[in-house]
């Protein structure tokens, strides 16, 4: 559950904070994904692509930390 504190009746600032938290948690991405049915084959392909992307990003960060990039 997401809690946002509104200070000094500043609703705009609270909304920005809420949107940022939801973005970080992946709520918007999940809502977009649930909007339409995703075939199991498409879901597997998407998950595999995401895993490849994560692995490459991790490898890039590791290389950068070691000073090879």
Q: Tell me the per-residue pLDDT of 4-42, one tens digit each, with 9 for 90 and over.
A: 899 999 999 999 999 999 999 999 989 998 999 999 999
pLDDT of 61 higher than 80: yes
Give the span between the Cα atoms of 52 and 57, in whole angstroms.
Answer: 9
Confidence band for 67, pLDDT divided at 50, 70 and 90: confident
Backbone angles phi, psi at 13, to 5 degrees: -65, -40
List, in order, residues 6 or more apart from 6 with CB less than 8 Å away.
13, 14
Identify the pLDDT of residue 69: 56
pTM: 0.58
Identify the pLDDT of residue 1: 79
């Amino acid at each position: 559950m997401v809690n946002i504190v509104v200070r000094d009746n500043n609703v705009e600032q609270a909304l920005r904070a809420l949107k940022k938290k939801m973005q970080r948690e992946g709520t918007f991405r999940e809502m977009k994904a649930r909007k339409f049915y995703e075939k199991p084959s498409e879901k597997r392909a998407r998950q595999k692509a995401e895993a490849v992307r994560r692995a490459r990003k991790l490898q890039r960060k590791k290389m950068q930390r070691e000073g090879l990039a």
